[in-house]
Amino acid sequence: MRVGVVTFPGSLDDGDARRAVELAGGQPVALWHAHEDLGGVDAVILPGGFSWGDYLRCGAIAHRAAIMRAVTEFAEQGGPVLGICNGFQVLCEAGLLPGALLRNEALRFVCRPVPLTVERTDTPFTRAYRPDEQIIVPVKNGEGRYYADAATLDRLEVEGRVVVRYANGRNPNGAARDIAGICNEAGNVVGLMPHPEHAVDETLIGGTDGLGFFTSLLAAAGATLDA
């Protein structure tokens, strides 16, 4: 499976995302923000970092990049798209996911492993997990606080679109309703604030709980072929 990882000026986790794809058994494909097409990839990852230095708002400039027109079309056609941290911010700015990511409640950058509960396991990125499985994945953000109005939050809850939630009262940024990740109505576009690409190697943080987000893609591809 060919998984495109987009690099914007200021991206810094694109290499980690490509390595995670490789460890999961996929073929990573480097995509540049100025490209106008996706080169026939099977899935897309918008990685973490500080695209365009987070000027204006996080992701506000990146969502106007040439490649985002192709990403939007790909997503609207049902293609799997994962936005991690800054990538989540880009997806919200592009209107592919609802809500926004605001400054952390404590107004401090946070960087530490946090417990998560996986609530939705039928997306292309969560098939490897069990419902309500708890995993440990790092966060590193200064503007990671998920926010939406009450009506939008209620709709996400009713429609089961909260993909992962901070667990055990350990919400690192004050995100509304402990939301750490959501998906679109179709379930093919997922935004995550934690960094699963930093939890794929035992030698780094002592766990591989994040690898499932990447192996799930291969499982999803196999299920599509079987259908």
The residues that are catalytic are: 85, 195, 197
Question: Which alpha helices (H) appear in the chain, and where do they start and end?
Answer: 14-23, 66-76, 86-93, 150-158, 202-205, 212-226
Q: Name 165's bridge partners.
A: 117, 179
- The separation between the first and the last C-alpha atoms of the chain, rounded to the nearest angstrom, is 17
The size of the chain, in residues, is 227
Task: Tell me the CB-side half-sphere exposure of residue 149, using CA atoms within 13 A.
Answer: 1
Please say whether the beta carbons of 79 and 188 come within 8 A.
Answer: yes
2 closest CA partner among 10, 140, 22: 22
Take residue 81 and report the two structure tokens written for it: 């798209």
